[in-house]
Structure 1
Amino acid sequence: MTHALTALIAICTREALRFFGQRSRMIAALVRPLIWLLVFAAGFRAALGLSITEPYETYITYETYIVPGLLGMILLFNGMQSSLSLVMDRELGTMRLLLTAPLPRWWLLSCKLIAGALIGVIQAYAFLGIAAIYGVSYPAFGYVAAFPVMLIAAFMVGALGIALSSTVRQLENFAGVMNFVIFPMFFLSSALYPLWKMAEASALLHDICMVNPFTHAVEALRFALYLKLNPLALGVTLGAVVLFMALALWGYDPGRGSVRRKA
């Protein structure tokens, strides 16, 4: 247990030093959702009327609606960027040292996942603070209730990123894989527009959004900010965490020759 906790602390400390040592990374993580909040939301406000649907009990502004989706965006991009460091560590040889440590491989990958998720949650709360200054705020205890849901959502996208990183041999190839995953997951979800709006446009797109685990992560977070529970959304998100982590462990299985060559 002592060795396991030491490994967790060491990996979290390494990720924290790497993150706080790159101020541009925090700025870049916040600029993207802020552009959506301050610029695009102003244009979409008139075009996208919002009905009263759960968890809302009255009409809301479009800015209020998209903040949970933008939190999901932050977690999604951070999860993929954290996984990008795995590919970089593999090229530098650091991955070999990590995976040969005298600890179970699942624990080492979980430590990497936890460290990346905590960094993502820090960025998400920083964005929530800026949104509150802008005028988009939530119940005080909603910020507390959102923490475990954000952590689960960060685990989901982080585990997906780790699974994808096991299939990529070179650093430059991972950027293309990231874009292939990030943009469909984000835009084919309820992050920017409610599902009933998507159903009006296309029943097929609505069905695709419904099977997208990122949709359920955003909805679980949306409900949590209002101190409400969405069992379906939370269950799907947890199921996706288990599935993606299983794929990650399989991808980094030492018995697979391709992984040994890449590590």
Structure 2
Amino acid sequence: MNGYWGVSRAIIAREFLRFVHQRERFFAALVRPLVWLLVFASGFRAALGLSIIPPYQTYITYETYIMPGLCAMMLLFNGMQSSLSLVYDREMGSMRLLLTSPFPRWWLLVSRLAGATAISILQVYVFLAIAALFGIVMPPLGYAAVLPALALGGMMLGALGLLLSSFIRQLENFAGIMNFVIFPMFFLSSALYPLWKMAESSSLLRDICAGNPFTHVVELIRFSLYLQVDWGALAWVATSALVFTALAVWAYDPARGLNRRKP
């Protein structure tokens, strides 16, 4: 087990070193949610009236409502950004070298996911601290209670990005493919508006949003911030994380990659 943990620590440390040397990633990850929180929320506040819905016990501001969605957005974007580095590593050959090591492939990939998720959680907490400076605060214990939700949601979204990266053969194709994943997942969710608002315009659209795994990540974070558990969202996110991880491990089989390259 010492060897396993040593490999895991080395992979996670490599992710943090890459993050430290790419400081623009940190600021870019903060700019997106802050723009939504401080700019777009001001305009949407008057247009979107919110009723009292769980887990809230009273009326809330629109800024408070979208906070969990913006936290989940950071997990989503960072998970996809980590997938971009996987495509780069594969083109450079370091990914193949990693996967042909004597350690199980699933352990290596999960360690990679854990490193990316830890960085995402760090960014989310910095965002929550900045939001608190603008008066948007959560229950004090909620900041600790949300940690498992962030970890599980980050692992699920990171595994999805890992799975998608296995089908991307060239780095140049990454941005286009990711745009067909990130924006639909974000906008077709409860991140910016509750599902009952969606149902007012289209029941089909509401059902699509309800089936979106990202919606359940948002709701899991939302309830955790208020010291509650959305068991349905928890089951959905945990199941999705296991499925995406299993598919990614299968897709990153070096033998399959060698076979595909044969003429």
Query: Which category of TM-score, normalised to the shorter sequence, fits these structures?
Result: over 0.9
1:89: how far off?
0.3
Report the residue type matching 1:27 in the other structure. Answer: F
Matches within 5 A, 1:138-153: 138-153=138-153
1:132: how far off?
0.7
Aligned twin of 1:197: 197
Partner-residue secondary structure (3-state), 1:155: helix
Matches within 5 A, 1:4-83: 4-83=4-83
- Residues 19 and 8 (structure 1 numbering): CA distance in 2 closer, same or farther, change over 3 Å? same
1:254: how far off?
3.0
1:117: how far off?
0.5
- Residues 151 and 99 (structure 1 numbering): CA distance in 2 closer, same or farther, change over 3 Å? same
Aligned twin of 2:238: 238
Report the residue type matching 1:252 in the other structure. Answer: Y
Aligned twin of 1:112: 112
Contact persistence 1:155–1:241 (CA under 8 A)? yes
Aligned twin of 1:97: 97
Q: Summarize deviations over 1:185-225 as a string: whole Å, max 9, x none.
A: 00000000000000001101000001001001100100000
Contact persistence 2:100–2:254 (CA under 8 A)? no
Aligned twin of 1:253: 253
- Residues 260 and 107 (structure 1 numbering): CA distance in 2 closer, same or farther, change over 3 Å? farther
Q: Summarize deviations over 1:30-71 as a string: whole Å, max 9, x none.
A: 000000000000000000000000000000000000010000
TM, length-normalised to structure 1: 0.97
Report the residue type matching 1:58 in the other structure. Answer: T
* Superposition misfits of 4+ residues, deviation over 3 angstroms: 257-262
TM, length-normalised to structure 2: 0.97
1:133: how far off?
0.6
Aligned twin of 2:136: 136
1:259: how far off?
7.2
- Residues 102 and 260 (structure 1 numbering): CA distance in 2 closer, same or farther, change over 3 Å? farther
- Residues 83 and 152 (structure 1 numbering): CA distance in 2 closer, same or farther, change over 3 Å? same
Can you give the 5+ residue segments of structure 2 that lack an aligned partner in the other structure?
A: none
1:248: how far off?
0.3
- Residues 91 and 257 (structure 1 numbering): CA distance in 2 closer, same or farther, change over 3 Å? closer
Aligned twin of 2:208: 208
Aligned twin of 2:225: 225
Report the residue type matching 1:163 in the other structure. Answer: L
Partner-residue secondary structure (3-state), 1:256: helix
Contact persistence 2:75–2:120 (CA under 8 A)? yes
Contact persistence 1:195–1:206 (CA under 8 A)? yes
Q: Between Structure 1 and Structure 2, how many residues are aligned?
A: 262
1:247: how far off?
1.2
Q: Percent identity?
A: 63
Following the alignment from structure 1 to structure 2, what is the Cα–Cα distance between the partners of residues 193 and 120?
A: 23
Following the alignment from structure 1 to structure 2, what is the Cα–Cα distance between the partners of residues 75 and 107?
A: 21
Report the residue type matching 2:4 in the other structure. Answer: A
Aligned twin of 1:169: 169
Pairwise CA RMSD of aligned residues?
1.2
